[in-house]
Structure 1
Amino acid sequence: MATQAEIGRTAWSDPLSVRALTGGAMIAAGYVLCFGVGMAFALDTGISVVWPPSGFALAILLRFGMRAIVPIWVGAAASNLIDGSTSPFISVLMPGLTITEPLIAILLLRLVGFDSSLQRLRDISALVLVGAPISTLLNALASLYVLSSLGVTTWTDYGYNVLAWWAGDAGGIITIAPAILILTNHSERVITTQNWVEAGLLTLLGFAALQLAVMWPNLSHGGAAAYIVFPIVAWVALRAPRRVSIVVALCISAVALATAKLSGERFLGAHDTLSELVSLQSFVTCLTLTCLLLAALSLDKAQIEARLREREQFLSLAILGSNDGIWDWRPNEHRLWLSPRWKEQLGYAEHELPHSLSTWSALVHRDDRDRVAQRFTDFLEDRSDSFEMVQRFRHKLGHDVHILTRGIKMKDDEGRVTRVVGVHTDVTELLSAQEELRHQAASLAGLARDLEEQRRTADAANTAKSQFLATMSHEIRTPMNGIIGMLSLMLDSNLNQDQKRWASTALDSAETLLTIINDILDLSKLDAGKTEVELLDFDAAGLIEGVTALLKVRATAKGIALRTDIAPNVPKWLKSDPTRLRQILFNLVGNAVKFTQHGGVVVHASVGAMRGDSCELRIGVTDTGIGIDRDKMASLFEPFQQGDTGMARRFGGTGLGLAIVRRLVRLLGGSVAVESKLNEGSTFTVILPCTIVTSPLDRPAAIPRGTVSGPHRRASILIAEDNEINRELVTQMLTRLGHDATVVSNGREALTAAQTRALDLILMDIQMPEMDGVSATAAIRALPGSHGGTPIVAVTANAMVGDRERYLAAGFDDYLAKPLHLEELQEVIARWTNSAASPANGGEQAVALDQQRAAELRGAMSEADFAALIERLPKEIDAQIERTQHAIRANDADGVRVALRALHESAFDFGLRELAALSTRLIGDNVDLAQIIEHTSAMQSAVTRAKSAIDVLRAPSRDSQE
């Protein structure tokens, strides 16, 4: 329920509401009533013993706030006008002092932290010592000054009038203000009928005592009977609610004042008017203070008892609900108390164990008894700061229970221990769990040792696998070097058509086998985490177009279309790893071309989410090929997996391409997904995070460790190779390139040759008898003078992860992986001997067109398709040359290489050998843009001769069509 103050505040939230007006009228009427009561109880001299309006005004403002000022002012003005002792003007203005008095009192009370509920002794003291005397004294001084100035009172009586006014106002505040505050406080406890009956009887008894004291003072020895009312009020204050006791005090005070007013005798036997006034004021004030103080004490006592009961209930609940047992030992009284839970922990009911030390002695384990007693003695004699230990007790059922005992002690002023309180915690299950954890920890430790052993075994197996791959790579590459090299030399010799076709078929097979080996090595590098990402700026559209152009000839040969669809929102320049992206696209587009027999392949490119300078490059490769069974998609990206078991037999391949794609995509922070329907086609989607480059920086060109300059000269080159076939192959290659070759079969002979003669270059194999290539290189580097600075190139079949870096760190200047290609060997020699590249056929002009290859294409295609191919090929060559020139102008070395690779693929597939060889030489990693620009005229000449050769083929094709 809302309090009266809350009702008042709600009613007055709108000052013009009916409730607000009614409340204000009631306050004004209450003030007028108090004014009338004060005047009614005034003595014959006209002085009021207590002035109720002052207490009423203070209580109303404390309860209802500042909005009660207006009703109080109205009530005071009305009271003055009714009294008629002052002029109307003064009657309306004087209430200003009436309002000022309670406002000053409220300000002072707030400064001392006053609470209007009066539930604390300090609040009553503040009201009596601060609120009542100070503000009333100031009001008396000001009011009587005004009245004396206006002639209402005389200046000669100013001091006496101030004291009388002050005493009346202060008495009114002490008597009326607490009564109103308590009566309007609805949080007080409920009043019963018994309280009212008892209070009424005691009030009558007090009335009788006052009548006896006033009317028959001789019988009560000068009015001493009046003091019987004090124990009556005390009794009511201690037994009844505060509202009842304050009503009793008010009634008795009113009776005392009325009796003094109406009787002809002076109150308490006073001799004159002043003494009677003081006696009455003292009596009423003390009566009210007695009631208030005793009621406050009773309230404090009730609150303390309630808190004690609450704490007792809390402790009882805590003891009963706690899982811990509690014990309380008082040495001076030789008394020990054990909680029910203490006994329950040992299996006993509360009544089964007495509260004595013998209970503890009988239940504690005999092996722990002396140890516990010694620890407890140390604790009592301050040799130990705390008492905490685990001891065993005998359970009622016969088994041992592990109990954690903790205790604290209390001492008297002389330092003697008067009380020890502690708790018992059953830790049996905890200790069992700890023991179980120890066993589990031991088991886990053993398991960890086993796992560590298995890890070592796995690492050893992985190392063995890597060593196996390295060994197999070396052993396979060594004969492959001879096979591919000899077949290449054979194709450059004078062979008839059948011999060239056989040699070309054998070379294609060898190159396919080499591709398989490279895929296995790439997968091994990715699995080993040795593949690094190099972030570079690249032309996104140019890279995609370049990869497509390289594979377009293969698609055209199959009679299918291969095109690109690049969305307009794809930025011109992006930053990622273009080398890895090309490898991804080569695998995906190459697979799409391989597995598509009819229709075509489309490479889509677009940009997904863009955030600031970041974007997602989405590349989709869609084909109309054979499709993939849904059951096979889960393992599609695993190594050595293909769409069906017969696919390898139908289309070839190892199933490593998609495994490499997924690992490369993850390496770049992207994702790859596939959608496919059997016999309808597939779509592979790659999403890669890239950075948008608004203004690509000029990347520094690669600076080769040697430079190509000066006229051609014959170089003196030492070949250190233990394999006879490889020695023959390299010798023939060097002869073809126009250089002098010296051959040794091991590292020791290489060291001797380097000591005895001046060499331009050493081609050093790694694995050789007597002294390997690494040791021989270290020994040569230790030679004095120019012999120790001879350039040494590692020529090895070791092409595993980190082999190139390892050999360069060992003192080699360069690295060539077997099988050797004539163009790569030519570039290395040019780089380290300053020898310009010479024709690869003994100084003769390279062949512009391989007629055998052209004949094979003509035989494999219809005349219409072949005619369309030779019509389209010059346009593709021109497009790639234009793209190359555009990339050169943009200083885009990667774009140049993409275009030249596309040119090489187109030329190589058609048999344009001179153009293919020149483009191959210019796409090496160590060739910079300056070198490519130097060969621009040579490239144009090769293109012109290639077109002339194609024109020669075009005429017979036209004749056949005619």
Structure 2
Amino acid sequence: MASRIPWPQGPPGTAPEESAEELYEQAPCGYFSTLPNGMLIRVNQTFLEWTGYERDELLEGRRFQDLLTVGGKIFHETHYAPLLQLQGRVREINFELLCKHGGSLPVLINTVQKKDATGRVVLHRTTAFSITERKNYERELLLARKRAEQAEQVARARTDFLSIISHEIRTPMNAIVGISGLLRQTHLSPEQEKYVGILQTSSENLLDLLDNILDISKLEGGKRVLEERRFNVRQLLHGIFYGLTAKAEEKKLAVHVVVDEGVPGWLLGEPVKLSQVLTHLLANAIKFTDRGTVTLAAHVRESSPESVCIDFRVTDTGIGIPKPLQATVFEELSQPSDEAPQRYGSGLSLAICQKLLGLYGRTLRLESVPGEGSSFFFDLTLKVAADSEPPEVHVARNTATSQGLRDMHLLVAEDNSVNVFVLSQYLRKWGARFDVVENGHEAVAKIQEAHYDLVLMDLQMPELDGYDATRAIRALPEEQFRKLPILAMTASTRVGLEERLTAAGFTDFVCKPFRPEELFSKISQRGASSLSAPEDSRTADLPIQEGAEVEPSPARPRFSLDEFRRMAEGDDEALREFITITLTSAEQHKHAFQQALEAGNLEAFDFQAHKIKMTVALLQAHVLQDALQQGRALLAQQERAPALLQASVRAIHTELNAIIAALREDLRQTAASVEAGTSEG
């Protein structure tokens, strides 16, 4: 064992010197030399300390390969030795060295050959670097990756579970909401009116809870990201206001929108998430306020030519929040009082707002006095769009709130004639001009022929579906087509739908069957100008919303034509047109379902079921819905019994034939009524 060399004494101020032997022995890496056959002939002190051997133990006939694990020995013979002989050197070969007292040491080996004057290899010089810490780090990385993958799988399973459960709960809840809405339109006693009102409010709160649970799941799963697009703040605020006007009118509340004149007309930001936050806050304010006013305000805090900091604030004169509870009000499922869950539903909306604002790095704050009201506020710094319009232009637009949708020109892309008729009834009532096309190809061509303020696009259409049609529109070279609002009309609410729609280029979506006030709100908010809510929109709900697959009850009729008559609003010509369109559609569906079942084509069956979905909802045809579900279940099986498929065809035909017969009789009576009226005239 070499002795340590003392520091040489030199003149003051001179650096101490080290011998080559000292550097070799105490180097931070291991050094050893071997004969060509691997026999160890020299090792440094660092290598001895790593492995735990004495110098004499290694230099008395032990070979380098004797220190290797079984796998290392095989790799030495098959790769290391041949490569060293071929190249004369090897770099960064990973080996596990066996230590004297057990365990192993991971090292990286660099070896070079030393030759004599004749070119004969006389020894190998090797440098070994300990990579224990690197191995531990790699192990931690692998464990972290595995934990992340497991967490992602759990999150995905949770999201899928929430989506499925949400859809399953929506099925009966949509029926409850729809039926309670229909009940309110019948003659009820004051006591019955009270009970139905409680039923409708509670069921709507439960539907809101389902939506909030899905939003929380998306935010926690990291599926919400910020985008930057051009939008008009005034249009966004007034669109939110008009979308909630009906609820405020029910409670006789005064709702005000106050926008600072200094707010630029057009900004760059994420209007969808900003709208979601403000909608939650305004809806909450209306819920928690029984009398007085609710105000949605936007004021400029700081501004420059490039950006503006806006203070958004929603103030109400409602029940207020006690001081001790204000610190926890933004937590999931918290409530301002013990009575609040029974009166207003769950407390997820504020948690959603806080998480959404967290994407901006901002925080939602509040000021509240119990019994006097609350004020929720936050500020956002947004870029000013380069081509921002003067504020007074938008102020002028906002004064024209009594025009409905009269100034708008819409394109409806929908291949189902019943759905087209339903949309047409509402769009005509709201004063909108509109054109109708039956597939995506026609939609792409039509928007290049005329100017439209907004497109209502069905997702499932023949030839070119809504997704591809929207992508084609966005790909057109003109800038106007990239800004054109396109609303998807969809019967799906599954988690991940928004991401897919956004990727395709849609501006927003409306679920089918739709709530008229929601459709109006989306059109007015996404369209070219701020608009007022339609009269009586709160009583114009379709009876059953998206996915209303209602379990049959022995006491219930198999279907009902009442909704057809209600939508016609006493217009016999409109009723006759509606029934005629539905008759033609039902006949077509009979043959289409039969072909899909006999051919075993699940995709074709689903396509037809999607097209007839709104008709089934309007007719409240629960028995037909059951028959369609059973047919789809049969097609989903790998082995399909022909007898069962034929039975499914007969069941679907039986229900459609009954509906067709009833529609024809209604059509006959309507025609007779029209003729009688004409004769009397």
TM (norm. structure 1) is 0.34
Larger RCO of the pair (alpha carbons < 8 Å, separation 6+): 2
TM (norm. structure 2) is 0.46
